[in-house]
Structure 1
Amino acid sequence: MTRRPLPYRTESLCPVCLQRIPAEYRREGPDGVVVLHKVCPEHGAFAEPVWRGEPDFGSWVRDKTPSHPRRPFTEADRGCPFDCGLCAEHGQHTCTGLIEITARCNLRCPVCFASAGEQAEPDPTPEHIAFQLDRLKQASGPCNVQLSGGEPTIRNDLPEIVRMAKERGFGLVQCNTNGLRLGTEPGYAASLRAAGLDSVYLQCDAADDAAHEVLRGRRCLPEKLAAIRACAEAGIGVVLVATVAAGVNLDGVWKLVEMGLRLGPQVRGVHFQPLSSFGRCPWRADRSPRVTLPEVARALEVQSQGQVRWTDFHPPGCEHALCSFSAVYRRTGEGLELVRGASACCDCGDTPSAAEGARKAKAFAAKHWSSPEEVSDGGGGDAFDRFLASAGMAQRFTLSCMAFQDAMTLDVERVKGCCIHVVSPAGTLIPFCLYNLTAFDGTTLYRGRF
């Protein structure tokens, strides 16, 4: 397996002017923190920590055989990251296609990658969303789909949009939501399940409301708990998704896991997203309470008193290794037990295959996060419980973490390996971090430019 000794060079963008500039990863200080350094000829030097602690950075990062887009929509001209659509030089085809079906929202979160609710454009028509779904299918085949926004449940025709996606044969149809409508409107979750919704990606930052006041602008945990109950009754799997910031909720990551476990098998896992400063954010990218992947892994180990360990976690087989980690556990009466050989990533040989990693990542999401089919076992329990029991999934629980890139941490090499793509209004596919990237003054690289 090819390892990456430090220092090593890549390219990044200037956080002021968004021009491509050389960059280098270096190990610094007695604790061996890995820092991304870059210099813009016009705006000077920038440095940002990207890796604090174990596992060792050099052993975690490795080369991978690319899996190029099935159907590129743009030509390579100016070079990455300015030719996205995707171009033929992109190193990973789409695993998850994200479609923003509204810019409206019923929250105004201080932290919002989409800056939702600010001068919201009219919602795209159903016909236009159908066009975006068709373009995604042309580009990537039956990948997974996440309906996002803004807040997707603002749209009263969300069930019809879910049906459109299911009719096109996508492997997993998931809704990215704050849960407010799900938790307050009787029968709403059931209507989404009847339309074919597989999974809810539920914004939930902590097991108490202090973090929600900082990150979401208000206390909203009761509504989120009600949303989880509604999804359980409807037979929709739920993944709790937490933005993590130092001094805000890093010290409570295990409490959130414990809450998810207590809520029952309808909660399929917890997904952590370290704070990235793009879109609407109270912290500029060079001054944010940033945490790195190893810090989240270590926090889970320490706070769980060793029930989970950082050595449980694996780099991804799909996206770039610096982007994420994951592990699969079995629920026990006392907590969690690692399921060996059940990782979401591929088993890596000398040169891991991005294509095989993508295949396993898509199958993993569909298997571990999706809703049930009706399965009759002749016994008691609702359809969700019967499905989980028959599929052997009732006790499975995933822990994962994805570190998105902002203007300080963007690495062109990582971008080329991205498998999570936003379907733009023009029907082109843009890596998630690039689509949401903003300079210090709020200038965007792609969002709002179609």
Structure 2
Amino acid sequence: MRKWWPLLAVCAGSFLFLLDTTVVTVALPRIGADLTATVGQLQWVPDVYTLVLAVLMLAAGSLADRWGVRRVFLAGLAVFATASLGCGLAPDIGTLIAARGVQAIGGAALAVTGFAVLAATYEGRSRGTAISVFFAVNGLGAAMGPVVGGVLTEYFGWPAIFFVNVPLALLTAVFTVFAIRRDTPARRGRFDLAGAVWFAVAAASLVHGLTLGGEGRWTSPVTVGALVVSVVAFAGFGLAERRPDPLLDLRLFRDREFTTLVVCAAASTLTFAALVYVSLWLQTDRALGPVAAGLALAPLAGASFLTSTVLGKVLHRFPPRVLLGVGVLLGAVGSLLQLGFTVTGGLAVTGIGVGIAGPAMGTAVAAAAPPGRAGMAAGILTTTRQFGQTLGVAVLGIAYQAGGLTPVYVVAAVCGGVTGLLALVPRKQVQVPA
């Protein structure tokens, strides 16, 4: 049993930060009423969290390789708990958004180091089992957010969704001290500060521009300026990463298999991005309370958890590319079912797809990671997923404001279908430079 203690510690930390990616979805109407916030301001409550996660995960992975994953994991828990307390005590929407951003700094450390611990601790069939359980808990945490958030919001008030993180984070930290052994840094050298800054500016500018555009301000000088800054910053990031020992080794993307993996990781996050608007629709158009809205989304959580748990036993028998394609395609089918037939059935099918695609992505990235780069590999996977979800919330927000849930489902289905078919096309084996 002691063999699986690191897995338990990692799953506890990952469950916390992923729960908070979706736990606020059903609480947004109450938050808006209590803090007198507009729809645009409310969108930043989930958006700033996923944006900061996406911006910092590459940097967190690099720091984990240099400082040690255990140290970064514990630091992440401390920041996450402190910021959660600040979220619950926030007197206005601006303070809440700022505290959510700080909370995501701790979440970035938890996301990257958790996966890196598994990649470094387990091998062979044990690694497949560990990664499947890890992604099962991840899917459960993200998908259970609306249920947990609904119960806490309705019976204890929306601050409770943040206060509950404090004791849970402290307990996880105590268990981590005993479960995960001290490790030595896997790499030396200078931290790529220039690359981290360029990427942060590029990502933040892009999401800010899309968010403003979604509010109908495409011709605004601020919107145009943000998108221009994003293009320039991404170019600067590409030039900065040509230095030795970069934050992100761009040679990885010469491999079409690896590029397909990254695209699939981004596409799979549209499922959770859509939950923001499904929850708003259930509470505004269908007049459901927070608990009822959360329970309506529960089939996705259950299907994802069961699928990932079972998949660990057979994961090694199938190429990750095939599992990825099938998983993302099922997500697209689930979106179509929600569009025209049944929300419950569609969510269940989508959950099965999430449960298939997640472990497949984790196994492929863990196998591709060169020695001493487990943090970088984890950073690539987690950054892609979180950045994809952040962009997904912004893009689907445009669709939602244009025509409600129908265009949201259409966009999710088209993106998932095209990406899933792309993943099924045979390509050469992943070769990651050392």
TM-score category of the 2 structures, normalised to the smaller one:
under 0.3
Greater relative contact order, per chain length (Cα 8 Å cut-off, separation 6+): 2
Q: Give the TM-score normalised by the residue count of structure 1.
A: 0.25
TM, length-normalised to structure 2: 0.26
